[in-house]
A and B are shown apart, each in its own frame.
Chain A
Amino acid sequence: MSQDAPDLIDQSAIPAPVAEGIESLEPELARELAVQLGLKPEEFDNVVRVQGRLPSLTELYIYSLMWSEHCSYKHSKKQLRKFTSSGTGVLQGPGENAGVISVGDGWAVAFKMESHNHPSAIEPFEGAATGVGGIIRDIFTMGARPIACLDSLRFGTLDKPRQRYLFDGAVAGIGAYGNCLGVPTVGGEVYFEQAYEGNCLINAMAVGLMRESELTRAVGSGPGNHVVLLGSSTGRDGIGGASVLASQEFDEAAEDKRPAVQVGDPFEEKLLIEVCLELLKQGKFVALGDLGAAGLTSSASEMASRGGVGIDIDVHQVPQREDGMQAFEIMVSESQERMLAVVEPADWPDVQAVCERWDVTCTIIGTITDTGRFVVRDSRLPASADIVADMPAEMLAASAPEYDPISRRPTYLDELQNYDLSVLLSTPPRIPPTLARYAGLNASAEPSKVAESTAAAESDKIAKTGAAFSPTSPSSSLAVCARALLASPNICSRAWIWQQYDHQVMNNTVILPGADAAVLRIGDTGRGQMSRRGIAMSTDCNGRYCYLDPYRGAQLALAEATRNLACVGAEPAAITDCLNFGNPEKPEVFYTFERAVSGLADACEFFGIPVISGNVSFYNESFGNAIYPTPAIGIVGTLEDVAQAVGLGFKQAGDVVLLIGETNAELGGSEYLKLFYDVVAGCPPALDLEVEAAVQAAVREGGQHGLLASAHDCSEGGLFVTLAECCIAGNLGASVVLDDNLDAVFSLFAESASRIVVSSSPEQVDKLLDILAKYEVPYAVLGEVGGSLLSIDADGRVETGVTGDATNTTTIATAGDTASAAQLEIPLDELHRLYNDSLAQAMGA
């Protein structure tokens, strides 16, 4: 592995030390400690080179954190340069606490997504809560008032008690923090998959709103200015969070790392938001930064480094919540709810006054200097020896090692991509017994319907025995599969989650959680005129697709994110990403990272969407097993008028139902395969970016012209699930025919990309068809909204052995042998029950 740290140290660029006679560590002890703190031997050598001597204890701690993967991005930096992060409307790209875009009328939106995976895997409530707290600090640091949170979550399957504990705790933690702050949690996503069992993912995204003129950066300047710490006192909590937790894999010792998880205090953060925004508005801060990973160390050194100045900090001045803390402990503590500000001496009394009003502690802990050095003092020591660290600020923050890890295509990729699904699909599907039980499938069917009652009898048998279906009753198999899919934890309603989150506070939520994308009205968040301008937000990533093909999987994630915005009528503006992967030092893992970044970068380039902020989370492994590659995407788009926002539910009986886009004979990586065959294999859905863009543009234009009563994209579970969700959300039935020349299993459950189901009134549908013709997108008129049943004739004119992608084409047991064989009829109330109750059921409620 080419992991030798390059010797890029230009000695002449290092500003002269301030102190003489700092107590260096003994060589052997220093080396040993460096390894314990996660520094590689060659990195330690570079520390010695930069310092020109052996480091002191405090210095070694600081280097180990600043050069940890979590803080330095040393394995990912080079790949991340593939992203385009500039463009019209980008006010701030990566490199600051959050990215910022202009959204019109002088308004700007700051947003970022960040992981808090490792802490949450150990202590889900506090891990998730402090994840939310951290990302929200990144937002108001920029001068923006936080207005929304979203969360992208991954856990193992819910049949395991530990996974239920993690999921329950993380949701409660996210809710407890966001609810207390009064920031609405408006969206997100969650999947349950074995691959995340030892390493759950908690990715939190926050969005903030400000006037463009209010943009603030964490750039320290003005020698002689005060360095001020605001907020909570500093304790021993979270010591080593960045280096110990976030930059290593999990093993048997994971539980011992619990003390490295921080504890959140949302009340303090709420006060900090008010204090900081008030003082920023008054222009009392020269710079503002939050204390996140690596605490005071990283925020102070980055502030100095960005401003090309020095910084001199006295740890004795830092308010401490524990006795006897050593200098290095104070410097690396990750105690939450703390902010670092640079204040001109003349403004100090005003800062104190505002802090006092809100009962927030503020303390001068140091000074900006012109030495270019990051100096840490401990004034408890004799004045002659009170300097405990003296480092070149810029080298410390900006000269972290950068690696170019070896990349090797994993052998599993060919194996799984070439997996013969046709053989598998010719065997009968199996309903997982627990799912059959809590979905109550045995009590579901209407007795009067012959096919339905067969299904009921079948599922009754399944529920009792867990046995497979007999393939001789194809329609009943489809009927039960459809019901089971709707109740699958990966598909069913997420209301159980978002009803634990305040999603309405601030009075701006136009489209609530549960839709394709959340829509917020933006304008003055206090009293003011009513604004019609809006933003839409969504988070997306299907880890299975990325596992089967990291390049296409990442592209599919962006395609779905942008499609979700198109459904509500919004134009994509920019994305943030949270790239969750295993250990990058393993060539096979690094390959998936490299390919996913390329796929995402290429797709962003195609759509012209900049990546304005993000986060990389490596070492998501437990006992040597990596998670699925999971490049989660957080997208923000704009709407001129929130009144044009389109919801997903059918609206009016008699409306025409259309499928825009085309279904292919593909089931690779689908929920259908996983749920009924316990297989994750094949190729993820094909993606033609041109078609995707055309479908989105057509739907967006339809929405803007008021031609759409509803719009909802097809994703996991396929067209059947999409239709069911439209019925459930609108509380209206529908009657459709899927005349697509495909086997019913594909028609119903294929997860083909670039598809959106819309409904339109009979009076307006012609105008919609004109738009579809203009964009030359394929479409099919499926049927009509109305009644109290979802009735699907998936038989169409089925020809067994359909044409299409040869590797995916198959003839399977459910193919219609009679005209009515692929007929589904599910009453609305049963749809509601299956869809709405299942997550609570899976959680054992």
Chain B
Amino acid sequence: MSFRFGVVVFPGSNCEQDVVYALDYLGYTADYVWHQDHSLAGCDAVILPGGFSYGDYLRCGAIARFSPIMEAVVRFAQDGGPIMGICNGFQVLTEAHLLPGALIRNKGLKFLCREVPLRVEQSVCQWLKPTTQTLRLPINHNEGNYRCDAATLKSLVDNCQVVLRYGAPDCAPGYVPERAPGYVPERASGYVPERASERVSERVAGGAPGSMPSSASDAAGLAGAAGTAEVAPNGALDNIAGICNREGNVFGLMPHPERVCDGISGNSDGIVFFETIAQRLCAV
């Protein structure tokens, strides 16, 4: 299996090393791509990492989308190449109109860094198989409040482009299903790093750590379409945490899967995205 990930570095990106570390840990090959480059030659999949591109003093991603590399990213997307935008990368993808909608300041106007339960929707996304049902991933953003007009939302839902929804009630910080203060890493004593060889679907089906705490699982009872009760901690429309384009190759999400790949914090739910796309790239 010979394929490469390209991780784009804008000035102010600050999660590019984490993404490369996670990919490296999982046994994949990844290279940094500088924002002033014009080519993605040699890349089989592209990741736009989190951070504060150009400081994000204007609308997040508004400057980054004009970086020279973005022309190549747009072409890559049009050619069907798989692209994942994480957090700031998601914001850049919306600014570049590779994904619809926009991400505005969080409800409550506070930066949010915590782990959240997510529901995986039936979608056309190439980065995530719907066999996985729930995930717990960390969010870390100031502008993650997804917005779009009603027609766009309808088309997102109708075309199975909603990939992830915030899936449990937004309990108070540290409340039962949330990570309590001083959370003890589940794997702290054993500390057996999971490798890419472990089948994610089996792992999730087998329970921890992919499964949700029981008190959060009643979120699965929430309706899945527009008009559901707001449970997104950032106020996102229809609890949207991640969407893809109609073809499913371009995917943007606010949570940070790269932070939960090596199990250091007792969670390895982030692996699923990278493994899914890797399997697809191998099959091609």
Measured CB to CB, the residues of A under 8 A from B are 172, 175-176, 179-182, 265-268, 270-271, 358-359, 493-496, 498-516, 521, 525-528, 530, 642-649, 651, 706, 710, 712, 725, 728-731, 829, 832-833, 835-837, 840
Contact B113 A651 (CB under 8 A): no
Additional A-B contacts beyond A503-B113, A527-B30 (18; CB < 8 A):
A181-B14, A496-B173, A500-B110, A502-B140, A504-B113, A505-B259, A507-B22, A521-B264, A526-B21, A643-B190, A646-B184, A647-B183, A647-B184, A647-B185, A648-B181, A725-B182, A832-B176, A833-B172
Residue contacts A-B, CB under 8 angstroms, 16 given: A179-B113, A179-B142, A267-B55, A495-B173, A500-B111, A505-B15, A507-B262, A512-B182, A515-B181, A646-B188, A648-B182, A728-B174, A728-B181, A832-B175, A840-B172, A840-B173
- Report Cα–Cα, A567/B114, bound state, in Å: 24
What separation, in Å, do the CA atoms of A620 and B14 have in the docked complex? 36
Q: Please name the 3 residue pairs, one residue from A and one from B, whose CB atoms are nearest each other, closest first.
A: A182-B14, A267-B55, A514-B181
Q: Once the chains are docked, how many angstroms separate the CA of A238 from the CA of B6?
A: 42
Complex Cα distance, B12 from A515, in Å, reads 30
Tell which of A180, A507, A645, A648 touches B259, judged by Cβ atoms closer than 8 Å: A507
CA distance A836 to B178 in the complex (A): 11
How near does chain A come to B183, taking the closest CB pair, in angstroms?
A: 6
B176, A516: Cβ atoms closer than 8 Å: no
Contact: B180 with A266, CB < 8 Å?
A: no
Q: Chain B residues with Cβ under 8 A from A499's Cβ?
A: 110-114, 173
Q: Are A729 and B180 in contact (CB under 8 A)?
A: yes
Residues of B173-223 at the interface with A, using a CB-CB cut-off of 8 Å, are 173-176, 179-185, 188-191, 193
Q: With A267-B12, A267-B55 in contact, do A500 and B174 touch (Cβ < 8 Å)?
A: no
- A180 CA / B87 CA spacing, docked (Å): 13
In the complex, which residues of chain B have a beta carbon less than 8 angstroms from the beta carbon of A511? 182, 185
Q: Beyond A507-B258, A710-B184, is A180–B12 a contact (Cβ under 8 Å)?
A: yes
Residues of A within 8 A of B102 (CB): none
Take A495-B173, A500-B113, A730-B184 as given contacts and tell me if A266 and B193 are in contact as well, using a CB distance cutoff of 8 Å.
no
Whether A508 and B182, one on each chain, are in contact in the complex, defined by CB atoms closer than 8 angstroms, is no
Contacting pair A265 B55 (CB below 8 A): yes
Check B265 for interface membership: any CB of A closer than 8 A.
yes
CA distance A516 to B11 in the complex (A): 35
10-40 of chain B: CB within 8 A of chain A: 11-12, 14-15, 17-18, 20-22, 24-25, 30
* Chain B interface residues (CB < 8 Å from chain A): 11-12, 14-15, 17-18, 20-22, 24-25, 30, 50-52, 54-57, 110-114, 138, 140, 142, 172-176, 179-185, 188-191, 193, 256, 258-259, 262, 264-265
Query: Contacts A511-B185, A643-B189, A729-B182 known; A501 to B111 CB distance under 8 Å?
Result: yes
Q: Which of B14, B185, B188 contacts A505 (CB 8 A)?
A: B14
| CB-based contact A510/B265 at 8 Å | yes
**How many Å lie between the Cα of A179 and that of B22 in the bound state?**
20
> Which residues on A sit within 8 Å (CB–CB) of B188?
510, 643-647
Q: Tell me the bound Cα distance from A510 to B259 in angstroms.
A: 11
The residues of A that contact B30 with a CB separation of less than 8 Å are 527
Tell me, in angstroms, the Cα distance from A729 to B50 when the chains sit together: 29
- Binding site secondary structure of chain B: loop
Query: Are A510 and B174 closer than 8 Å at their CB atoms?
Result: no
Query: Is B262's CB under 8 angstroms from A494's CB?
Result: no
Question: By the criterion CB–CB under 8 Å, are A837 and B12 in contact?
Answer: no
Inter-subunit contact A514/B182 (CB<8 Å):
yes
Q: B179 contacts which of A175, A496, A512 (Cβ < 8 Å)?
A: A512
Instruction: Evaluate whether A493 and B174 lie within 8 angstroms (CB atoms) in the complex, with A270-B14, A500-B112 already known.
Output: yes
Contact of A526 among B17, B52, B173, B176 (CB under 8 A): B17
Q: Which single residue of chain B is at the shortest CB-CB distance from A641?
A: B191
- Chain B residues within 8 Å of A502, by CB: 111, 113, 140
Q: In the complex, how many angstroms separate the beta carbon of A323 from the nearest chain B beta carbon?
A: 24
Least CB separation from A513: chain B residue:
B181
A712, B173: Cα distance in complex, Å: 21
Structural contact, A508 and B113, CB atoms closer than 8 A: no
A111–chain B nearest beta-carbon distance, Å: 20
Alpha-carbon distance between A709 and B157 when the two chains are bound, in angstroms: 46
- Measured between alpha carbons, how far is A833 from B173 in the docked complex, in Å? 10
Closest to B264 in A: A510
Q: How far is the CA of A234 from the CA of B279 in the complex (A)?
A: 53
Interchain CA distance A833-B182 in the complex, whole Å: 16
Contact A527 B176 (CB under 8 A): no
Q: Which residue of B lies closest to A180 (CB)?
A: B52
Distance in Å: Cβ of A182 to nearest Cβ of chain B: 2
A501-B183 contact given A507-B258, A832-B175, CB 8 Å threshold: no
Bound CA span A514–B113, Å: 13
Q: Assess whether A649 is in contact with B180, with CB atoms less than 8 Å apart.
A: yes
Interchain CA distance A180-B54 in the complex, whole Å? 10
Q: Is the CB of A270 within 8 A of B12?
A: yes
B17 near A730 with CB under 8 A, answer: no
Contacts of B191 in A (CB 8 A): 643
Which A residues touch B172, using CB under 8 A?
832-833, 836-837, 840
Which residues of B lie under 8 Å from residue A528 when comparing CB positions?
21, 24
CA distance A504 to B182 in the complex (A): 14
Contacts of A507 in B (CB 8 A): 18, 21-22, 258-259, 262, 264
Q: Which residues of B contact A175 (CB under 8 A)?
A: 111
Whole-angstrom distance between the Cβ of A141 and the nearest chain B Cβ:
20
A contact residues around B24 at 8 Å (CB): 527-528
